Each structure stands twice: as C-alpha cells, then as structure tokens.
Structure 1
Amino acid sequence: MSADLLSEAFPESLDTLATEAATYASVQLQASQWTEQFEVSLGGETIRIPARLRFRNNHADEALNGDIRLMVRCLRSRSSDGFERQRAVRDLLRDIQPWAAPFIVALIGEYLVEILDDIAGVFGESVPEPIIEFLRENPAYWFLTKQRVSSYWNVYYRRSTRKKDYVGFKLKRQIDRHLRQVAR
C-alpha cells in the first residue's frame, strides 16, 4: 500500500505531517499487500482508513516525535497483529487527537477484549470529546460499530461473559449515554 493511500487516513489540513507519517509506515509494510479502506467523515472531510495492514516488524517508532509518531501509531492500530494494535492504541489514548478518534472507535468494534479494557480504562466514566464529536458526525459508522460489538460478543464471549458484563457493551452504553446528553 502506497504512502499516498495511507495519507488519505488523515485530514488534508495535516497533509505534510500525514505524508511524512505515511511514508515512514509504508516502508515498514509487507510487500504486495492490499487492504480495503473504510470511509468516515472528520471535520466535514471524507477520510479513508485502511481496514488492516500487515507490517514486517513491530518497531515502537521511538525515533519519531509528536504528531508524526501518533499518526504512525494510528496506522499501526490497523495492524494484523493484535499485540501491535494494543500497543498503538495505548499511545493514542494518552493524548486523544481528533484525527485519532476514528482509529480508536474502529478498535471498539473489534474482538480483542484486552484492547476494549484499555479503552474503557482511559474513558472511565466520561467519553473524551474527540470521540463524541467524531461519532456525532458519523452516526451510521457508530451504528455499524455497535453491531460489530454485538457480533463479536456473540461469537467469542457469549459463553464466558454475560452481555451486561462484557466491556464492549459497557463502552457502547456509556458512549450512547454521552451522545444523548450532548444531543439535548
């Protein structure tokens, strides 16, 4: 996947930083890969986020700083390696930027309960404003994400975790509650 395609995951206003982050990430990808992209809106602009990326290695990207590092972490949150996704989201959750919100929400709709626990731990009783703003702008995507939470619970956790105790449903209820409060 080219750096040009990867940079589409970020708003045009961040084009210079996004291009640098995408170039850095693209050389770490396995050769000859293809991935679907999903479209969401961010600040009125359509961005295209890769569904899954296969990296050759799991560099911590320590040589990078600031927003470029966080953008690479956003892209690594789409890794085919669940441990890498978890490391990436932990970095993103330290300082949630508006352009990172789509990547964090995408992980809420996935099956790794350890990542959901990390997200829930940071959210606590509140939901960070960038997440709420992103979801207000993308109600159809939030609906799809909630359907994924239900589906993954049904397939992977139904036998071991009651619905009311499953962290994905707790996050879903908490976010919906905050969205209703904002809508008032």
Structure 2
Amino acid sequence: MQQAILHCLYSRHSDGLVRQRHLEQIASSDEPWVVPFVVQLAGEYVLEILESIQHGLSDLSSKRSAQRLAYGDFIARNPGFFARTERRVVSYWSCYYRWKFPVLGTYPGCHLLELLRATAIDRTGRPWPRHTPPD
C-alpha cells in the first residue's frame, strides 16, 4: 500500500515521463483511493499518458469488474471533477492535437472519456452529461 501511495504522489510530478512511469504502476488498480489520481491524468496533454491509462484500465469494459465499479462510483460522486477533466481534454486537444486528430472524437482522450462516462452511466442508471462539443 505504501508503494501505491508513493506512485500516486509521483503521478503529480512535473516531468511527464515520471508521471507516466508511476501511473503505469497504479492504473490497473481498482482501489477506490487510486481512482482520482488516474482520472485527473485523463485530462493530461501527454498522449503516452493517455495510452497508459487506457492500457491500465483494460477491465473497464467488463460490466461487472471491480475497476468499473470503482470508477463509476467515483465519477457519479464527483461530477464536477469529471466535468473539469472533460474540459481539459477538449482544451489540450484543441491546443496541441487538433492538427493530428481533426475530429475531436478520434482523439485518444475522448475515447477514454467515453469509457469513463459509461462507468458512471452503469452506476447511476441514467445518461451522463457531456461537457464536450459534439463531434
């Protein structure tokens, strides 16, 4: 547990490579206290970090996984935090990646948002608001 706490703290490092290396150690965790550290990094501008999150959240697509439940619970209880993360994804896409991914929906950060949004829908049983522009 101490190592997981250390990895969470280092996921806030100013160096993107350090953030990514420590994120990779916690992304597959389904511990509820790890979830906010991973969700915040979903609003990151470094593509490799977004890819690491998607790789670590491979159980998110499984309807009954502990990981899906943990993320769904967190997002349902923290809608403002998730909305801010969505806005960051759009902002970084617009600033750094619009040329590479001309359609917002093709940007890896948006794919990740859709996975996370689906967990909240599962937990609440209702549509989850979108804070991103339409594709």
TM-score (norm 1): 0.60
Runs of 5+ consecutive residues of structure 1 not aligned to the other structure: 1-66
Name the structure 2 match of 1:108: 42
Between 1 and 2, higher relative CO (CA 8 Å, sep ≥ 6) is seen in 2
Query: Is 2:7 the counterpart of 1:73?
Result: yes
Tell me how many residue pairs correspond in the alignment. Answer: 118
- The one-letter amino acid paired with 2:94 is N
Name the structure 2 match of 1:177: 118
% identical equivalent positions: 33
- The one-letter amino acid paired with 2:92 is Y
Counterpart-to-counterpart distance in 1, 2:21 and 2:33: 18
Q: Once the two structures are superposed, what CA deviation does each residue of 1:3-54 show, in whole Å capped at 9, x if it has no partner?
A: xxxxxxxxxxxxxxxxxxxxxxxxxxxxxxxxxxxxxxxxxxxxxxxxxxxx
- The one-letter amino acid paired with 1:181 is D
Counterpart-to-counterpart distance in 2, 1:96 and 1:180: 18
| Aligned ranges 1:21-170 → 2 under 5 Å | 67-124=1-58, 125-126=61-62, 128-161=68-101, 162-170=103-111
Structure with greater proportional helix content:
2
The structure with more radius of gyration: 1
Counterpart-to-counterpart distance in 2, 1:91 and 1:178: 22
- The one-letter amino acid paired with 1:158 is R
Structure with greater proportional strand content:
1
Q: Once the two structures are superposed, what CA deviation does each residue of 1:104-134 show, in whole Å capped at 9, x if it has no partner?
A: 0110011111111111122233463222211
TM-score (norm 2): 0.81
Runs of 5+ consecutive residues of structure 2 not aligned to the other structure: 126-135
Q: What RMSD in Å do the two structures reach over aligned CA positions? A: 1.4
Shift of 1:150: 0.4
